[in-house]
Structure 1
Amino acid sequence: VEYLMSEDGGSAERFFLLGTDYVYPRTTNKILRAFLISKGVPESSIEEVYTPFGHSDYQTIVANIKKFSAGGKTAVVSTINGDSNVPFYKELANQGLEATDVPVVAFSVGEEELRGIDTKPLVGHLAAWNYFQSVENPVNEAFVSKWKAYAKAQNLPGADKAVTNDPMEATYVGINMWAQAVEKAGTTDVGKVRDALAGQTFEAPSGYTLTMDEKNHHLHKPVMIGEVQDNGQFSVVWETESPVRAQPWSPYIPGNDKKPDHAVKSN
């Protein structure tokens, strides 16, 4: 959102928060709304809309986005999940709403979602992740080539178009950190491995060295914003200089400042 508000990101003043109706988008948008208000964005410049899983008719919603954007420079923050993304972006194109007019930054659209679909309606729109296949470094080159070779050797569906993405990189890092913790603990005992995970580091395909927080077991990871290209890949247009320390409790939600990093939910 800070990028969208910057000159490079289009100097957005109004925000349309569009998501699938379940806990992740609603929690994300609760945080985003509080963050935007802290930045001086008035309530009247924030619109929040949810659709059910599998929703496909975005004609009215896109028309409302178009109308909303007439009030000033607007960006859409999308937490739409799954197949609904295809008709949403198609409708944006149908109504002539281009990325240069109203950019959409998605939190759930990556290389796998773009694989095998017409990416023309999405070109120029954005996605925010911790990793993109297109990042250039030796670790990622090896990661991508190994996955493509494995997909081909195992004759996986669509192996000729195999791609990596953020959830895959996260799983790869997690498995490797677990293995490192097992070696350190000398056992697979859950409690001892958990203790050994604290402070683990791993050189990730993202090009950054990731750290498992010693207090809350969340990863310190970079943030990247990628622009959709017509080949289904992303061009990284912005990224943090270093990994961001994990904050399990958003400081923008009232009362969260009193929650300790190690707070856990008891059963």
Structure 2
Amino acid sequence: MKIKSIVTGIALSMGASVISISAVAGDTIKVGVLHSLSGTMAISETTLKDTVLMMVEEQNKKGGLLGKKLEAVVVDPASNWPLFAEKARELLTQEEVDVIFGCWTSVSRKSVLPVIEELNGLMFYPVQYEGEESSKNVFYTGAAPNQQAVPAVDYLADELGVERWVLAGTDYVYPRTTNKILAAYLKSKGVADEDIMVNYTPFGHSDWQSIVSDIKKFGSAGKKTAVVSTINGDANVPFYKELGNQGVSSEDIPVVAFSVGEEELSGIDTKPLVGHLAAWNYFQSVDNEANSAFINKWKAFTSADRVTNDPMEATYIGFNMWANAVKKAGSTEVDAVEQAMIGQETPNLTGGTAVMNKNHHLSKPVLIGEIQDDGQLEVVWETEGVVPGDAWSDYLPGSKDLISDWTSPVKCGNYNTQTQACVAQAK
């Protein structure tokens, strides 16, 4: 049995224990992997753990970094948000990792953030999020709201004529903040309060009958209606199933999702979902040489016909940039790598180039995909070029004057352009 198969099996079976995978004994560069392998978010996060292991293996085949092999250290925070902080501290103080790739939900990232900053660790966060944050110790390789949520709303309004909006999300920081931004954005475009319906449900919510019924009623007012979904994790499965049960088709009330991609679709019957949408910065269906090579590497590594998705591409980009920054800095020391990261460029998987900006956010293309009956997403719209990620929303009063710039002389994640001062960031 191959070592990677053994590691994957152990990681899935041992819960919150730590697993250290070292190619060779002795002095190594340690890469922490902080993703849920159990609980409600395992449906999404297990794949990212495997992606990091693949990247570590590939880098070691190239000779490692700075003359050393990479060693992956995997932990399972088990979809338990406080446990993310505990496991991050364990990775940094006991395992002494040089970098962490991890988290999915914003509540898990918010849990880890004080630990990373206190101990001066370095983390790459690979999932779309709500913005309104910038840390010297975090690189955000997923989409900010202006790279996913806002363009998706523009697409629905401009291309599909949507006038009424259901903002449906899981009850935690990412959906609530994203929907606050979207509501402000919609109102700035002239949308009335009565044409915006907001609904939140707990993680793992399973009984969607009354909510879908309310959505149908809201959509029967004679105006084109759409659902903007920030529902996360395995709650998506019964949500889409209930849409099908109640005959809500994409033609009637289209759903555009920000947390549903190929991985989530691979586990459900997609026939009732055909025509519904997802907004990401990458889809497996993108046809180019770089993406084909990545897909082939992934299938060879997993020895299975497993799908790829957007957070995997964000992990791939982040890992390659980190490796290049370590080479540039000649060190894994956090402050040196952090500065070497700014301005890094690396090919993305959609045929362009990812650039790490001075606000620790990437420039990325935005794609809208339509769900097909095979669980893939066909690109129906995309931006002409890349969109720089914006850490602070232009539509919220407390944020519109803030910028993030981690280069001299500013070196601040929340610099107020009006007062020309760095302001205290809310925790």
Deviations, residues 227-256 of structure 1 (Å, cap 9, x unaligned): 000101000011111110111000011131
Q: Which residue of 2 aligns with 1:83?
A: 234
Q: Which residue of 2 aligns with 1:42?
A: 192
Question: Counterparts of 1:56-75 in structure 2 under 5 Å?
Answer: 56-71=206-221, 72-75=223-226
Matched residues in 2 for 1:176 and 1:266: separation? 31
Amino acid at match of 1:179: A
Question: Counterparts of 1:122-161 in structure 2 under 5 Å?
Answer: 122-152=273-303, 159=304, 161=305
Q: Which residue of 2 aligns with 1:176?
A: 320
Is the aligned partner of 1:21 residue 2:21?
A: no
State which of 156, 161, 164 in structure 2 corresponds to 1:4.
156
Deviations, residues 151-194 of structure 1 (Å, cap 9, x unaligned): 10xxxxxx2x3011011110010000001111111111111111
Structure 1 position 121, deviation (Å): 1.4
Matched residues in 1 for 2:192 and 2:205: separation? 29
- Structure 1, unaligned runs of 5 or more: 153-158
Verify the 8 A CA contact 2:262 2:307 in the aligned structure 1: yes
1:40 match: secondary structure: coil
Q: Which residue of 1 aligns with 2:255?
A: 104
Deviations, residues 64-93 of structure 1 (Å, cap 9, x unaligned): 111101121000001111111111111111
Amino acid at match of 2:276: H
Matched residues in 1 for 2:267 and 2:197: separation? 32
Matched residues in 2 for 1:184 and 1:121: separation? 49
Structure 1 position 115, deviation (Å): 1.0
The farther-off stretch of 24-33 and 183-192 is 183-192
2:200 match: secondary structure: strand
Q: Which residue of 2 aligns with 1:211?
A: 355
1:260 match: secondary structure: strand
Deviations, residues 183-238 of structure 1 (Å, cap 9, x unaligned): 1111111111111111111111122201000x211111111110000101000011
Question: Counterparts of 1:163-202 in structure 2 under 5 Å?
Answer: 163-202=307-346
Matched residues in 2 for 1:53 and 1:117: separation? 18
Q: Which runs of 4+ in 1 moved over 4 A?
A: none
Verify the 8 A CA contact 2:282 2:367 in the aligned structure 1: yes
Matched residues in 1 for 2:290 and 2:179: separation? 34
Q: Which residue of 2 aligns with 1:228?
A: 371
Verify the 8 A CA contact 2:365 2:385 in the aligned structure 1: yes
Matched residues in 2 for 1:89 and 1:163: separation? 20
Structure 1 position 14, deviation (Å): 0.3
Residues 266, 82 of structure 1: alpha-carbon distance in 2 compared, 3 angstrom cutoff? closer
Q: Which residue of 1 aligns with 2:23?
A: none
Amino acid at match of 1:90: K
1:175 match: secondary structure: helix
Verify the 8 A CA contact 2:391 2:403 in the aligned structure 1: no
Matched residues in 1 for 2:320 and 2:344: separation? 10
Matched residues in 2 for 1:195 and 1:16: separation? 41
Matched residues in 2 for 1:45 and 1:117: separation? 31
2:387 match: secondary structure: coil
Structure 1 position 122, deviation (Å): 1.0
Matched residues in 1 for 2:210 and 2:298: separation? 41
| Seq. identity, % | 63
Matched residues in 2 for 1:97 and 1:59: separation? 12
Matched residues in 1 for 2:337 and 2:174: separation? 29
How many positions carry a matched residue from both structures? 257
TM-score (structure 2 length as normaliser)? 0.59
Deviations, residues 36-60 of structure 1 (Å, cap 9, x unaligned): 0011111110000001111111111
Matched residues in 2 for 1:187 and 1:40: separation? 52
Q: Which residue of 1 aligns with 2:398?
A: 255
Q: Which residue of 2 aligns with 1:245?
A: 388
Deviations, residues 2-38 of structure 1 (Å, cap 9, x unaligned): 00001x3x20000000000000000110000001001
Matched residues in 1 for 2:399 and 2:268: separation? 41
Matched residues in 1 for 2:343 and 2:336: separation? 14
Structure 1 position 266, deviation (Å): 8.8
Q: Which residue of 2 aligns with 1:155?
A: none
Amino acid at match of 1:59: Q
Matched residues in 2 for 1:192 and 1:165: separation? 31
CA RMSD of aligned residues (A): 1.2
